Amino acid sequence: MTMEKSVCELFAGVGGFHVGLKRANTEWEVVFANQWEPSRRSQHAYECYINHFPNVNTQNINIEEINDNPQQYEIPRYNLLVGGFPCQDYSVAATGARGIEGKKGVLWWEIKKMLQRNRSPFVLLENVDRLLKSPAKQRGRDFAIILASFRDLGYSVEWRVINAADYGFPQKRTRVFIFAYLNTTNYYRRQIEVINNLSISDYIKDRGFFAEQFPVEDIVLTNECELNQDILTISNEFKFEFLNSGVMLNNRIMTQKYTPILETPMTLREVLETNVPEEYYLGEELGDWEYMKGAKAIPRKSRTGHEYTFREGAISFPDNLDRPARTMLTSESTKNRSTHVIRDPETNRLRVLTQVECERLNGFEDNWTNTGMPPKFRYFCMGNALVVGLIERMGMTLNNIFDHETGDNSISEVAIDME
């Protein structure tokens, strides 16, 4: 009997992981979801989620409360944990007899608690790509802490930085995806057998988790290291350049910079609505917009009195309709530098994107977020969301992985030859 396609979705937002997995296979079932927007009285994203998935056991409380009260908040068994979590400072501190403790309020540690509570065979996470290089003063430390946490829990890990536009989607949205799997799974055993007959470069390129759905052509740089320190030592001392793809097996890390095999992307023009209402147009006073979008060289002085010049390049104004969109931010549609401004093909006038156009840029159905939330928050949700089509592709790979798993993952350890 193959493994049940059961899912726990953390930081669920408006359901991007859920939608992508369901598109890959209707057998995927989210058995538990959590969505909580701190410091907000109205929980609009949660309300959107339950509007679309009313039968899912979805909790609208701080995940820390769930982890701190396991008897009160029972969670069904699941085989895949998914979620997009914030990029924060993941440092740890010594706490005497209690060992180490993660920085308060950092949600990675809540993911780790969930994995300690239910050692799900597989994990798929999403984050901004700067996670690999943070913090600025100790490059690579935060990602190494995450990898070491997985290592200590008995997982191997593969990661890939993916720009959605490289693989045919209409938005230049770059994120790092982290796939982890227990060292007791059939998948682990099969991957080790492959690695023992291939170089790591060929493995990442041809046989890794991301290889089939997100093909690459050239490996242009390689780094490797041993991650054999404890988490406290990593927090205090570790520095390493993680590249845009890689694997960790036991304590061995191999990371590589790849060149994607590009697919022709959808363009911004292809997602546009027709007959757009007047409220989306800019009007005739464009001076502020032209200044924000233009190149700048501004003299400034730091707190210490150091004088310097702040510079930023120009952004296309209006945005080119025959290219993919730039990355949407949570401030989309507001009067700021990052907001998309287009020349409407029907009226030849400048306007911002509609909420439906933003939903299309992330691959959601039209009016997915039109569930009673304020119009501005619909933009906020899309600025936080992931590109659903990427998860659909990963779901296709997960279909095959789960079809080769059973409910019993208690295999013996397999020797690893990574030379």
Tens digit of each residue's pLDDT (9 = 90 or more) over 185-212? 999 999 999 888 887 778 888 999 999 9
Listed in sequence order, the residues at least 6 apart from 385 whose beta carbon sits closer than 8 Å to its beta carbon are 13, 14, 16, 362, 364
Range from 160-164, 200-204, 245-249, 327-331 carrying the lowest mean pLDDT: 200-204
Q: Respond yes or no: is residue 87 known to be catalytic.
A: yes
Query: What's residue 101's pLDDT?
Result: 58
Query: What's residue 373's pLDDT?
Result: 96
Across the chain, how many H-helices and E-strands are there?
12, 16
**Average pLDDT score over residue span 249-255:** 91
- Which tokens sit at 383? 């600025």
Rg of the chain on CA atoms, in Å: 22
Percent of the chain with pLDDT over 70: 93
pLDDT digits (tens, 9 = 90+) for 16-27: 999 999 999 999
> Given pLDDT bands bounded at 50, 70 and 90, which one contains residue 106?
confident
Put simply, whether the predicted model's pTM sits higher than 0.95 gets the answer no
Listed in sequence order, the residues at least 6 apart from 417 whose beta carbon sits closer than 8 Å to its beta carbon are 195, 196
List 8, 48, 87, 225, catalytic entry: 87
Domains and CATH numbers, the chain: 6-263+388-403 (3.40.50.150), 268-373 (no CATH)
**Average pLDDT score over residue span 66-73:** 92
Range from 24-38, 256-270, 298-312, 342-356 carrying the lowest mean pLDDT: 298-312
pLDDT digits (tens, 9 = 90+) for 307-366: 888 888 999 999 999 999 999 999 999 999 999 999 999 999 999 999 999 999 999 999
Going through 183-292 in order, the beta strands assigned E by DSSP cover: 216-226, 245-249, 252-260
How far is the C-alpha of 226 from the C-alpha of 49, rounded, in Å? 41
> Given pLDDT bands bounded at 50, 70 and 90, which one contains residue 419?
very low
**Average pLDDT score over residue span 169-190:** 97
Do residues 372 and 50 touch, judged by C-beta distance below 8 A? Answer: no
Burial (CB count <10 Å: 0-12, 13-18, 19+), residue 214 = buried
Residue 6: closest CA among 74, 75, 67: 75
Query: What's residue 99's pLDDT?
Result: 52
Do residues 209 and 396 touch, judged by C-beta distance below 8 A? Answer: no
Tell me which of 336 and 95 has the higher pLDDT.
Answer: 336
Do residues 163 and 218 touch, judged by C-beta distance below 8 A? Answer: no
**95 pLDDT more than 60:** no
Query: What's residue 416's pLDDT?
Result: 43
